[in-house]
Structure 1
Amino acid sequence: MKKNYNCKEPLLAVLSLCLLLLVTGHSAFAQEQAFSYTQYMNNLTPFNPAYSLLDKTGSIHTLARKQWVGIDGAPVTYVINGNVPIESIDGAAGLIVFNNQLAIEHQTEINAYFAKGIQLTPESYLGVSINAGIRNYVANYSALDASDPTFKSDVRGTKPNIGFGVMYYTDWYYLGIAAPELTITSLGTASIQNGTNFKSHYYLSGALLTNINEDIKFKPATLISYAKGVPLTANISGTFYTKETLGLGINYRTDNVMAGIISINVNSFHVGYSYQFGTSSANLGGFNNATHEISITFRFGKHASDFKLL
């Protein structure tokens, strides 16, 4: 980024207080949101497409997430999103593809989005975004036991999806709220996953970038997600960057999971890896199913070599 500010800025205290109240005002939960990944602080666009306005170059982001390694049918998630800037109108447009497999259930979501920035002051902007697409859901119950009448019928459906996002941002922090998954109609009650995967989801996010010294920057971030009938979940992370190249961070989620994160920024490429594990006494004292997550980003265009840390 072009500018970085220190922790004495008055707005930092306000931002930190707001995030603290939102996070600590809720207890820990064991149920996970349908759409979640650890490295949100490096690619927030799938949660809030208005975030794409913070980067003034084109980019392609890919992410693969394997949960609960060692358990058959454990969740596997793939996300790819690409965006291109529209500099003449301070806008951006792109595509998000999400694919999730959980045992016999398979969900695919495709959304196109458009975002527009509005300059409020010389150093602050308001970004708004809209997205639209489809969600496809398949549950192959017959694969469990075709001879059992309980599992004779598979569940399949494709439904439209719309969403929006709003983000206030500067060169050193942002605050955003978004509802990228507003399902127009539901699939019914044939699958237990309908209660999570096809509800409308809401996200509140915030982050800031500050200098520790000439070579080290620190970036705290949070992502709070909610859906009706699904417990609120808060992600809290902190990442230290050395010479804007090597990033080392930690993430805690309020359903008792934690992750270590490492990232490397070289020219137009970003590569990240996270290792997530449970923090409850049952996990730490016994069998703990880890989650591995890998992300790769390629940036292109005239600003591609100036890697965006925020």
Structure 2
Amino acid sequence: MKHTLLITAGILALATATHGQQAMTHTQHGELRTVVNPAASLMAQGGEVSMIGRRQWVGVEGAPTVFWGSGHVGFGSLGATAGLNIRHESLAVEKLTEAGAFFAKSVRISETEYVGLSLNAGISYLDGRFSQLDPMDPAFREDVRETDALVGFGVMLYRPERYYVGLSLPRLMLGSLGVDSDSRYDFRNVYHLTAGALFPLGTDFHLRPSLLVTYAENLRPQAEASALVFIKEVFGIGVNVRSYGELAGMAQFNFGGFGLGYSYQFNPGSEPLNRRISNTTHEIGLRYRFGGTNNLL
């Protein structure tokens, strides 16, 4: 196990040194938006619970694994929502856990358009068990356990069931979590730009394109676009393309307020790092909207 973790840690160190660690984002951002921008909760005023699991480099011990969870309730008379977001990442011998609460409020600016604003606050906890790699080797540091507070905000312009454009800073770090410890999780402040729309294609088909751009102070910008075609609002199939060359096939099922999504991501390129390890990534998302509604956007 230690040998495998050492190899994984070495690969991660090489990736960080040569390219910069990519931000871990999910391909189903057009379906599960609140974990990226809490202001998107205003588009589901009835309330919603969602979760996503993402496993990268399948078959490699210690490979990146991410879990997102979100839930909120709506206050229709106020045009507001309140909820919780959680996030847990594991990468070799490091684990990052974040949890926070958010409040969002919408303001009507025209007959059909709204602007939503959100504020969130929470904590981050970094747990690095570096002594598990090789406690006798002075090249490896002692274990790192750090806690930090975080705050964030989001803004979104949207028209229900038609389109949305949002900007969020869900992680404005108030301290130096991971910065002073040379952690692979030295993400610092992370910014997200999101956009999406829904277009009817006749009576039985809909097209839902979406865009996500992620930027952090010490990482390369990452852009990705998705497009799904839905049949009778029940089954959708599509693709996701990322700026680093990754492709993903996606499927979505909607039934009785539930939404179940799956994506299979891979990199068809031939970069040396991608040839040494499996770049296969599986992702599963589950959402439930209260009231039995299953709007596509």
TM-score by length of 2: 0.89
1:88 is aligned to: 77
- 1:264-283 pair list within 5 angstroms: 264-282=253-271
**CA apart distance, 1:259:** 0.5
Secondary structure of 1:142's counterpart equals helix
1:51 is aligned to: 40
- Looking at structure 1, the residues matched to 172 and 271 of structure 2 have their Cα atoms a distance apart, in angstroms, of 36
2:183 is aligned to: 192
Q: Is the 8 A contact 1:155 1:191 kept in 2?
A: no
- Looking at structure 1, the residues matched to 97 and 189 of structure 2 have their Cα atoms a distance apart, in angstroms, of 16
- Looking at structure 2, the residues matched to 232 and 279 of structure 1 have their Cα atoms a distance apart, in angstroms, of 20
Q: 1:232 aligns with which of 212, 218, 221?
A: 221
- 1:172-251 pair list within 5 angstroms: 172-187=162-177, 188-196=179-187, 199-251=188-240
Structure 1 gaps of 5+ residues are 1-28
* Deviation per residue, 1:59-89 (Å, 9 max, x gap): 1101111101011110111111101011111
- Looking at structure 1, the residues matched to 245 and 20 of structure 2 have their Cα atoms a distance apart, in angstroms, of 10
Taking a change above 3 Å as real, the CA distance of residues 245 and 30 of structure 1, as seen in their structure-2 partners, is farther
1:73 is aligned to: 62
CA RMSD of aligned residues (A): 1.8
2:284 is aligned to: 294
**CA apart distance, 1:281:** 3.0
Secondary structure of 1:50's counterpart equals helix
2:140 is aligned to: 151
Identity percentage of aligned residues: 36
Secondary structure of 1:40's counterpart equals coil
1:5 is aligned to: none
Q: Is the 8 A contact 2:193 2:214 kept in 1?
A: yes
TM-score by length of 1: 0.85
Number of equivalent positions? 277
- Looking at structure 2, the residues matched to 295 and 144 of structure 1 have their Cα atoms a distance apart, in angstroms, of 32
Secondary structure of 2:139's counterpart equals helix
- 1:8-47 pair list within 5 angstroms: 31-47=20-36
- Looking at structure 2, the residues matched to 152 and 118 of structure 1 have their Cα atoms a distance apart, in angstroms, of 50
* Deviation per residue, 1:17-65 (Å, 9 max, x gap): xxxxxxxxxxxx9555433111111011111100000012121101111
Name segments (4+ residues, structure 1) moved above 4 Å. 29-32, 282-288
Taking a change above 3 Å as real, the CA distance of residues 183 and 152 of structure 1, as seen in their structure-2 partners, is closer
